[in-house]
Amino acid sequence: MTQQASWQVAVTDSGFPDLAPEAEALAGTGAVLLPGQCRTAGEVAELCADADAVLTQWAPVTAEAIDRMTRCRVIVRYGIGVDNVDLEAARAKGIPVANVPDYAIEEVADHAMSLLLASVRKIPQVAAQVREGVWEIAPRRPIVGLQGRKLGVAGFGNIARAVVRRAQAFGLQTIAYDPYANPELFAKHGTTRVDWETLLAESEFISVHLPLVESTRRLFDDRAFAAMKPGAHLVNTSRGGVVETEALVRALQDGKLAGAALDVLEEEPVPAGHPLLAIDSCILTSHCAWYSESSLIRLQRYAALEVRRVLEGGSPQHVVNGVDV
């Protein structure tokens, strides 16, 4: 192990109660945490200029900030998405960027399935009726059954596969679109691999599990919604930018979609008066699918362990920008 008197690990920002899990994961390395709550690239640059490693949650780790890093050996993003980090700038400087893709697989899958059930069964609407004194034993017609219907998943990574397992327990058939997934995975999980057009045309319910990159940005647009089955439901627990908000509003208002349930949006938090808030068939949650008390601790610990691996002369497990240590 290569150790110096004091490694500096900058934490650009976080929404955690404290950084005790990071401190525990880094114990014995000589690392010192430099906590911040940076909101601008300039603040990130100032905090991280002499840091040996950077942990970041939402702060803008831009090319400007990365250019001013003189000693950084790794940048680790708390979570899966890395769109707040300039991957190309880090690559150009030889700094690996890592994420934490495995801290909340079951939580997000639980949330996605919960949103699907709530949307299809119209649970929020029925619960609201009951509070208003309306008691109907066959409310909000029509409500469709799940058994034998088809769930399509866009993306077939760990979370999507966990959703598939849950959906199959409810009697749903499953199909998946993912041009990059190992073909053997589909059969292993009892799921038919389909192309994009087939996913849209055949799915009665679609659950989105895609990263936000240029090829997926606003992938669900007017054209995609027009190609979906009439009366379909859309669930998104991945990245808000994968769905074009205005197109979704139109699809819901026109009745093309029977429902949508979203934990992520293009603009967060959702502004007061946003059209989606007025659409009865749309369920919104607050980007909280990842959260449980257990996953919170795992996220902090796993991120810090990536830093520890690098400080001890090893490599991160989950590099996302192609830089080898």
Rounded CA-CA distance 53/201 in Å is 46
Cα atoms in the 13 Å half-sphere on the side-chain side of 271: 6
Residue at token pair 């439901």: 233
Residue at token pair 């900030």: 65
239 is catalytic: yes
Residue at token pair 């699907």: 116
From 239, 244, 306, 308, the catalytic residue: 239
Q: Is 35 exposed, middle or buried (0-12, 13-18, 19+ CB in 10 A)?
A: middle
Q: Which residues contact 263 (CB under 8 A, 6 or more apart)?
A: 111, 112, 115, 236, 237, 284, 285, 286, 287, 288, 289
From 136, 197, 268, 312, the catalytic residue: 268
From 189, 193, 287, 309, the catalytic residue: 287
223 is catalytic: no
Helix axes 105-121, 158-169, angle to 10 degrees: 50
318 is catalytic: no
Q: Which residues contact 10 (CB under 8 A, 6 or more apart)?
A: 34, 36, 47, 48, 51, 53, 54, 55
Helix axes 105-121, 123-131, angle to 10 degrees: 60
Cα atoms in the 13 Å half-sphere on the side-chain side of 234: 32
Q: Which residues contact 11 (CB under 8 A, 6 or more apart)?
A: 19, 22, 33, 34, 35, 36, 54, 55, 56
Q: Which residues are identified as catalytic? A: 239, 268, 287
